[in-house]
Chain A
Amino acid sequence: MSLTLTAMSNSAVTRGQQQRSGSGQMPQPSQGPYISVITNRTTNLAIRGAMLFSVGVFLALVLNLLQVQRNVTLFPPDVISSIFSSAWWVPPCCGTASAMIGLLYPRIDSCLGEPHKFKREWSSVMRCVAVFVGINHASAKVDFANNVQLSLTLAALSVGLWWTFDRSRSGFGLGVSIALLATLATQLLVYNGVFQYTSPDFLYIRSWLPCIFFAGVITMGNIGRQLALYEYKFVQEKTHQD
Chain B
Amino acid sequence: MTLRERLREKISAAFYRHGLLCASYPVPIILFTSASILTCCYPLLRLPLPGTGPVEFTTGVRDYSVPSHEPQGDLGERPDWYRGPPVAYIQQVLVKASVSPWDSSLVPVDVFRSPLGRAFSLLEEIRNHVHSDGSGVRSLETLCLQVTDLFPGLRRMQSVLPEHGCLLVSPGNYWQNQRELFDLDPDLLKTIQKHEPKGLHTSATLRDLLFGVPGKYTGVSHYNRKRVVTYTITVVLSSYDARFLGSLRGRLKQLHPSANCSLRDDHMVHVHFKEEIGIAELIPLVTTYIILFAYIYFSTRKIDMVKSKWGLALAAVVTVLSSLLMSVGLCTLFGLTPTLNGGEIFPYLVVVIGLENVLVLTKSVVSTPVDLEVKLRIAQGLSNESWSIMKNMATELCIILIGYFTLVPAIQEFCLFAVVGLVSDFFLQMFFFTTVLSIDIRRMELADLNRRLPAEAGLPPPKPGPLRIREVPPPPRPSPHTITLQTPAFRNLRLPKRLRVVYFLARTRLAQRIIMVGTVIWIGILVYTDPAGIRTYLAAQVSEQSPLGDPGGGGLAPHLGVAPVFRGGDPTSALSIHPPPDPTPVPENQSQGHHGAAQAGPLPQASPPAVPQITWGAEDEEGWRRLSFRHWPSLFSYYNITLAKRYISILPVIPVTVHLSPQEAIETRHPQDTRHPPPSIPKVSADLQTDLTLYKVAALGLAAGVLLVLLLFCLYRVLCPRNYGQNGVAHGRRRRGDLPCDDYGYSPPVSEISPLLLRGHSMDIECLASDGMLLASCCLAGQIRVWDTQTGDCLTVIPNEGLRRSSSSNGCWEQWDGGYGAAESGLLGPETLGPACEEEGGGGYPLRRRTAPTWPTLFNDQPDLTPLIDTNFASQPPSHLCTPPRHGFDFGGLVERAYMEHEAPSPSAYPSPSSASSSPPSGAQPHRRPSLGDAAAFSAQDRASAAGTQAAADGESSVWALELRGNLIAAGRSSGKLELWDAVEGSLRCVNEDGGSGITALAFLNNRIVAARLNGSLDFFTVEINKPLGLLQYRGAPGRGSVPPSPCYSSEDVISCQLTRSVQCAHQKPITVLRAAAGRVVTGSQDHTVRVYRLEDSCCLFTLQGHSGGITAIYIDQTMVLASGGQDGAICLWDVLTGSRVSHVYGHRGDVTSLVCTISCVISSGLDDLICIWDRSTGIKLYSIQQEVGCGASLGVISESLLVTGGQGCVSFWDLNFGDLLQTVYLGQSSDGQGVRQLLVLDNAAIICDFGSELSLVYVPSVLEKLD
**Chain A residues packing against B (C-beta within 8 Å):** 58, 61-63, 65-66, 68-69, 77, 80-81, 85, 115, 117, 120-123, 125-127, 129-131, 133-134, 137-138, 141-145, 149-150, 152-153, 156, 160, 232-233, 236-237, 239-241
Contacts and interface: CB of A to CB of B under 8 A. Distances in A.
Contact of A80 (B153, B1119, B1159): B153
B294 A126 contact: yes
B407 A145 contact: yes
Contacts of A129: 291
Nearest to B1157: A240
Nearest to A74: B152
A110 to B, nearest CB: 12
A232 B287 CA distance: 29
A68 B280 contact: yes
Given A122-B298, A143-B408, A63 B153 contact: no
A121 B287 CA distance: 20
Nearest to B299: A123
Interface in B341-377: 344, 347-348, 351, 354-355
Nearest to B399: A160
Contacts of A122: 294, 298
Given A81-B153, A126-B294, A130-B347, A62 B283 contact: yes
B1180 interface: yes
A144 B412 CA distance: 11
A121 B402 contact: no
Nearest to A120: B1178
A149 B409 CA distance: 12
Given A134-B351, A153-B408, A126 B287 contact: no
A117 B1180 contact: yes
B411 A130 contact: no
A233 B1177 contact: yes
B284 interface: yes
A130 B406 contact: no
B284 A66 contact: yes
A240 B1119 contact: yes
Contacts of A141: 344, 410
B1103 to A, nearest CB: 23
B411 A237 contact: no
B281 A126 contact: no
A239 B281 CA distance: 49
A137 B348 contact: yes
A130 B348 contact: yes
A126 B408 contact: no
A63 B283 CA distance: 9
Contacts of A77: 152-153
Contact of A237 (B152, B281, B284, B1160): B1160
Given A85-B280, A130-B348, A142-B411, A121 B302 contact: yes
B1159 A241 contact: yes
B292 interface: yes
Given A156-B402, A160-B399, A123 B302 contact: yes
B319 to A, nearest CB: 16
Main secondary structure of the interface of B (DSSP, over half): helix
Nearest to A153: B406
B411 A138 contact: yes
A236 B1177 contact: yes
Given A77-B153, A133-B291, A62 B284 contact: yes
A66 to B, nearest CB: 5
A127 B294 CA distance: 9
26 contacts: A58-B287, A77-B153, A115-B1178, A117-B1178, A121-B302, A125-B298, A127-B354, A129-B291, A130-B347, A130-B348, A131-B351, A133-B284, A134-B288, A134-B351, A137-B344, A138-B410, A138-B411, A142-B411, A144-B408, A149-B407, A150-B408, A233-B1177, A236-B1176, A237-B1160, A239-B1119, A240-B1119
A62 B1177 CA distance: 37
Given A65-B280, A236-B1177, 8 more contacts: A61-B283, A62-B287, A65-B283, A133-B288, A141-B344, A156-B403, A237-B1159, A241-B1159
- Listed residue (A58, A68, A142) with the most chain B CB atoms within 10 angstroms of its CB: A142
B1177 A126 contact: no
B295 interface: yes
B1077 to A, nearest CB: 14
Contacts of B281: 65, 69
Contact of B295 (A58, A61, A85, A127): A127
A58 to B, nearest CB: 8
Contacts of B1119: 239-240
B284 A63 contact: yes
Interface string B1158-1186: 01100000000000000011101000000
A77 B150 CA distance: 14
Contacts of B410: 138, 141-143
A126 B298 contact: yes
| Residue from B301, B355, B1176, B1178 whose CB has the most chain A CB atoms within 10 Å | B1178
Nearest to B396: A164
A150 B407 CA distance: 10
A137 B284 contact: yes
B1159 A240 contact: yes
A119 B56 CA distance: 52
Nearest to B354: A127
Given A160-B399, A232-B1177, A149 B298 contact: no
B145 to A, nearest CB: 22
A147 to B, nearest CB: 12
Interface string B313-356: 00000000000000000000000000000001001100100110
Interface in B1109-1142: 1119, 1121
Interface string B142-153: 000000000011
B1236 to A, nearest CB: 28
Q: Which 10 A-B pairs have the closest CB atoms?
A: A123-B298, A126-B295, A122-B298, A123-B299, A142-B410, A130-B351, A134-B348, A130-B291, A240-B1159, A62-B287
A143 B284 contact: no
A138 B352 CA distance: 14
Contacts of B1121: 240
A208 to B, nearest CB: 13
Contacts of A153: 403, 406, 408, 411
Nearest to A125: B298
